[in-house]
Structure 1
Amino acid sequence: MKSLFLALSLIFSSVGYAQQILSPNKKIKVVVEMQQAGQGGSGQVHFKVLYKKGSAYIEVLPSSPLGISREDQQFVSNLRLIGEGKAVAVHDKYEMVTGKRKRCENFGTEKTFSYKNPSDQPLDITFKVYNDGVAFRYSFPNRKDSSFSIIDETTAYVVPTGSERWIQPYNQAYEDFFPFSTTGTNEKNNNDWGYPALYKVNSQPLWVLISEAGISKENCAARLNNKENKNVYKVSYPSAKKKLLGGAVSSLPWKSQWHVMIIGELADLVQSTLITDVSEPSAFKDTKWIEPGSAAWVYWAYNHGSKDYKKVIEYIDLAVKMRWPYVLIDWEWDVMSNGGKLEDALGYAKSKGIKTLLWYNSGTDWLDPTPVDRLLTKDKREKEFSWLRSIGVSGIKVDFFAGDQQDMMKYYIDILEDAAKYHLLVNFHGATVPRGWARTYPNLMTTEAVYGAEWYNNNSILTDKAAAHNTTLPFTRNIIGSMDYTPVTFSNSQHAHKTSFAHELALAVVFESGLQHFADRPSAYYNLSEGPLNFLKGFPTTWDETKLIQGYPGEMIVIARRKGKLWYVAGLNGKDTPQTLDLNLKFLGNSEYALQLFKDGADTKSITSETKSIKKSGTLQIQCLPGGGFAGVVSSL
């Protein structure tokens, strides 16, 4: 009894207070507590997250520090709790133009904790605890005319020791692999890691995906760093770079971006819309002009832009034959030759009923593909966007952004706002990962921020890693927003494929993107047999519903997406050995259905087609080659 009393005394002396916030379904519990001297600092706020499995709560995030610092003062240690808001129910319904689900609905509990630092300055920390995750952010609520700098956060995520994790080493284009690790070791980039960060809670069937959302012009974009402790991932801000400031500069009041943790089983993560749930609603009401769709893309096959008029015409003709509404005219369109100029290509596309998208250099000073420096200022954008509308262009692809600094965040948002005025769709390349802007600015169709098929042009690494990489992306990068991987390539560009033709066909379903750029040369599509060819014709790029059927990062995925009354299904084998994938049909209704299935044939370059009757109660076992896969369409009988 004496030892128990001593243990309890230590607990209560180290924790000043502890408040709980529960999700509406009671599955997720957040505990906010004040750590006292000798236990992680004096008066420092910590939080931990638990998830209910059966009758018990499992700790998915051990006690982790909170705090933020301005240039003039810190809000980390010696904080005093001065008030707590009431727990408020959150219930939001909205529709997305792009994404994994058209109609979104979320339920959560919101609570704000108010603190003061030793200088008697206020800090609020607001938590939203949803049925599928947790979001929190900092705010300075007082008003002051002068500007100030936010230089750092103490926020960190303490990952349980030994956790399996998949996180990409940071680079400003977010083009890297998500290597499997149990140690968190990163020899690159000073132990900087890019969002999103996925980890599995030890032996439990529970997963956490960490990212952020709701970034405004008042924020920079953050990353993670575990240099000090391999299991502690600290939120860190980008440093100053050339003309770009580090941290964030603003006036009061100020709010940070939302720090987001999606939590649950793998299906909960894949199907979650939490990134857009916590983002601001649409900035404009009229979205009827926004039309997502598939596009033919000239760059991949030739590792070059759109300088050659005759090749551009070939891709316009491909879009016509495949019933894809768009063609992307890539870099060097301003010096187009060999039979015609840009205006000729645009006129030809219009005569064929094909809409056009044009590429732009963001204005970088380290790469100079043209056109360059036409968007850097508002006056330049207004002039360029007005001209684009006058010549009938439907959208832009903007490439080569310079980093995650606040100036770049403002630049992204300025482009989206100005493009919307002229009814232009936007695709960001060489860019930061999605952070919820697709809800606020629904003309944002997709973002690259992925080690995609374009890398077959650059070196041979993807040849051996593609299958495992393609089965990791649905559990990491693609969860947080549309992903312009530029998939479904059957021929070889500069370096060879090892994935099968059926695997490549399946990427159209597995990878979600509001603009799906089909990257291969026209002949590669024309040479497909009738079934796979028709499967790709008029392919949808927006979905009413998404269901994860089966999967594990780097090993396999089976997924189903609904468009109207049709279900599109697909599976990928991420291993270099044969594997059987299970297509459980419980996502269907009680009717009878027909499945048109395309799967691996005798070798990687053959696809077998078959049609069969199926029911909700059934499960299909589909044999896949190493790096193989399958795709199909389910329709009611």
Structure 2
Amino acid sequence: MIKISYLSILLLFLTGISGFAQVAEISSPDGKLKLNVFAENGKALYNLSFQGKIMLEKSPLGLITNESDFSENLKFVDNKKDKIFKNYTNEKIKKSQVSYTANTLIVNFTNADNFNIGIEFQVSNNNLAFRYEIQPMKDRLSAVVQSEITGYRFPAQTTTFLSPMMKPMTGFARTAPSYESGYKADAELGIKSDYGYVFPGLFHVGNDGWILLSETGVNSLYCASHLDTTPEKNLYRIAYPNKAENNGFGSVGAAISLPGKTPWRTITIGDSLKPIVETTIPFDVVESMYEPSQKYTFGRSTWSWILWQDNSMNYKDQSLFIDLASEMGYEYILIDALWDKNIGKERMKDLIQYARSKNVGVLLWYNSNGASNDAPMGPRNKMSSSIERKKEMKWLKEAGVKGLKVDFFGGDKQETMRLYEDILSDANDFGLKIIFHGATLPRGWEVMYPNYAGSEAVLASEMLYFSEDIRKQEAFFASLHPFIRNTVGSMEFGGTFLNKYLTKSNKDKNKRYTTDSFQLATAVLFQNPVQMFGVTPNNLNDAPKFQLDFMKEIPTLWDETVFVDGYPGKYSVIARRHQNQWYVAGINAEKTVKKLKISLPVFSGKTVKFINDDTQGNSSEKEVKVSAKGNFNVEIQPNGGFVLRN
């Protein structure tokens, strides 16, 4: 009896210790997503469960500054709970009107130096966003955040969908990293990459669901980060930029004014891919950083460079692409690299006037350099310094240019984030919209910067021109983007080709392996407020009328985005709405025909237009009737696609 009593007391004591370790908990408004925060052995940790299943096991929190260490010897102080309600509109993202509701939690700790750090959590349905707030340290009102120990510990059954960070100062003219590596699907946990993995990263927790990791709210006051592996196979951590980026110039941490906050780390969780595709968390937790100087408009654009390449940078060919934009009803033409040398500013004024007479706005390409890499194309050294940039933008405004595509950034350091922001802010002063190419992932920038109009940050259309291997994998990569890269930010891919061969002549080389229906479907699947489509003047004569009509009417701004079906790396079906018109698009990356029965309640009982491929891969359009229950059977050919629209 005595032994049993002692055992009972011991169990009660151990239970008390375990309970004491958990210092806070909070759930999403619907109660499905639950966050627990712990203080154990001087460390702060958290875990996440969804519908009662552990999705992230106990994972580390904390960071290290040059003034003090907030990764260990932490003591829990207190916590505070609240709620947040927010309605906002933004035409540049996947959903134009958003209602955001979250439960909030701030957990405060002190460290061995008795300095304070808070961790702010916002838990909405299917999403967690969190960031750190560092308080002043005695007389210190500034610090350098040197590293984070923030981590994500996954259940053992998890597989990964990750893209490796590129080796700094490699690639074309030493312009890497530029987020242009491909993703691997369903890889095992813990595979080491020499330079880590870019955000976003997708994880499949077996039958329990899906997790998407990213970050948002990065501006000039911080560096961007990425994921890296650890000695623990199932633990990934936040990593800061590599010191070799941008030719070795610049810090690898973040200089921060105190009190100061880090960017948000975001986690989206669902038992299906629907919350992953439809999440708006990258935009929910950020605010606009300045007022727009004017009402910015977005839309479709032609650009010669993607298939006609450098030789097309001349007055005659650009006039042809202005005519093409006018014929297609497109709002813009992008005139790419080398225009400064081959056309010049004086003749460019005439070209801009000609475009204006055709109701087409002109976007001009610029090199971001600078001293960070060796990209030789001009205009160079116009965007990298404030004085030159403002002089150039003054000329651009006077000439009537509508926006810029700025290329070749190659890094995530705080200095580079400052350059992005400076370009955007100065451009707003002159009424110019900005697209970034050869660039990092956008992190909430659609909301933060009113004149921001998209980023590449993906293995994009230019690699279809240059690489046979990438052309053969086009469908595979395209089937990933709606679930990973494009779900967290605008993606300026620059595709939708109607040429059978990706050349100016449309023959002999660079054969396209995907069908025409596939190409049309990607105009819906890929979202960016300004889309550079790969149509060329010859398509006015050699492409079927229904394809041209489709490309003439396709919008680039969407009011709603809905997941229909799919599995990353295999197939994808997405629905998007522009005003009262719905588009449903799907593609098939597998080697066999994909037979699907999809639910489309928006088309219940309606007759709609249907673009699809036959068994030979030939594209056609017809009208079909969707059942009264909204069910629709579709077969998608290998490397093929389909589009339904009302």
Q: TM-score range by the shorter chain?
A: over 0.9
Alpha-carbon distance, 1:13 to partner: 3.2
Counterparts of 1:327-346 in structure 2, within 5 Å, are: 327-337=333-343, 341-346=347-352
SS in 2 for 1:541: coil
Aligned length: 617
CA distance in 1, matches of 2:469, 2:231: 30
Match of 1:271 in 2: 278
CA distance in 1, matches of 2:313, 2:47: 55
Aligned Cα root-mean-square deviation (Å): 2.1
CA distance in 2, matches of 1:6, 1:135: 38
CA distance in 1, matches of 2:101, 2:484: 23
Counterparts of 1:147-226 in structure 2, within 5 Å, are: 147-171=142-166, 172-186=177-191, 188-190=193-195, 192-204=196-208, 206-226=209-229
Alpha-carbon distance change, 519 to 340 in structure 1, aligned in 2, over 3 angstroms: farther
Alpha-carbon distance change, 526 to 164 in structure 1, aligned in 2, over 3 angstroms: farther
Alpha-carbon distance change, 359 to 16 in structure 1, aligned in 2, over 3 angstroms: same
CA contact (8 A) 1:555 1:575 kept: yes
Instruction: Say yes or no: does 1:27 pair with 2:32.
Output: yes
Amino acid at match of 1:173: S
Counterparts of 1:215-614 in structure 2, within 5 Å, are: 215-241=218-244, 242-264=248-270, 265-281=272-288, 283-284=290-291, 289-304=295-310, 306-337=312-343, 341-363=347-369, 364-491=372-499, 492-493=501-502, 495-524=510-539, 526-588=541-603, 592-604=605-617, 606-614=618-626
Alpha-carbon distance, 1:145 to partner: 5.7
CA contact (8 A) 1:573 1:624 kept: yes
Alpha-carbon distance change, 162 to 17 in structure 1, aligned in 2, over 3 angstroms: closer
Amino acid at match of 2:521: A
SS in 2 for 1:169: coil
Alpha-carbon distance, 1:302 to partner: 2.4
Match of 1:626 in 2: 638
Amino acid at match of 2:405: K
Amino acid at match of 2:325: A
SS in 2 for 1:471: helix
Alpha-carbon distance, 1:618 to partner: 2.6
Alpha-carbon distance, 1:250 to partner: 2.3
SS in 2 for 1:194: coil
Alpha-carbon distance change, 380 to 73 in structure 1, aligned in 2, over 3 angstroms: same
Alpha-carbon distance, 1:313 to partner: 1.4
Alpha-carbon distance change, 7 to 419 in structure 1, aligned in 2, over 3 angstroms: farther
Give identity over the alignment, percent.
Answer: 30
SS in 2 for 1:341: helix
CA distance in 2, matches of 1:399, 1:614: 45
CA distance in 1, matches of 2:303, 2:615: 30
Structure 1, unpaired ranges of 5+: 37-42
Amino acid at match of 2:211: V
Q: Which moved more, 1:368-377 or 1:485-494?
A: 485-494
CA distance in 2, matches of 1:418, 1:302: 32
CA-to-aligned-CA distance 1:331-369 (integer Å, 9 cap, x gap) = 001012599932232122111110010001000432111
Q: Which moved more, 1:8-17 or 1:148-157?
A: 8-17
Amino acid at match of 1:436: G
Alpha-carbon distance, 1:9 to partner: 4.8
Amino acid at match of 2:145: I
Match of 1:113 in 2: 107
Alpha-carbon distance, 1:5 to partner: 7.1
CA distance in 1, matches of 2:357, 2:335: 16
CA distance in 2, matches of 1:567, 1:599: 17
CA distance in 2, matches of 1:197, 1:7: 41
Match of 1:67 in 2: 62
CA distance in 2, matches of 1:538, 1:83: 56
CA distance in 2, matches of 1:344, 1:534: 30
CA contact (8 A) 2:57 2:154 kept: yes
CA contact (8 A) 1:547 1:587 kept: no
The TM-score with structure 2 as length reference comes to 0.92
Match of 2:170 in 1: none
CA distance in 1, matches of 2:513, 2:77: 60
CA distance in 2, matches of 1:617, 1:146: 62
Instruction: Say yes or no: does 1:135 pair with 2:140.
Output: no
CA distance in 2, matches of 1:445, 1:11: 54
SS in 1 for 2:395: helix
Amino acid at match of 1:547: V
Alpha-carbon distance, 1:306 to partner: 5.0
Match 2:83 to one of 71, 86, 89: 89
Alpha-carbon distance, 1:230 to partner: 2.7
CA distance in 2, matches of 1:432, 1:156: 21
CA distance in 1, matches of 2:9, 2:476: 52
Amino acid at match of 2:527: E
CA contact (8 A) 1:176 1:450 kept: yes
CA contact (8 A) 1:239 1:247 kept: no
CA contact (8 A) 2:564 2:573 kept: yes
CA distance in 2, matches of 1:336, 1:581: 51
Structure 2, unpaired ranges of 5+: 167-176, 503-508
Q: Which moved more, 1:607-616 or 1:555-564?
A: 607-616
SS in 2 for 1:389: helix
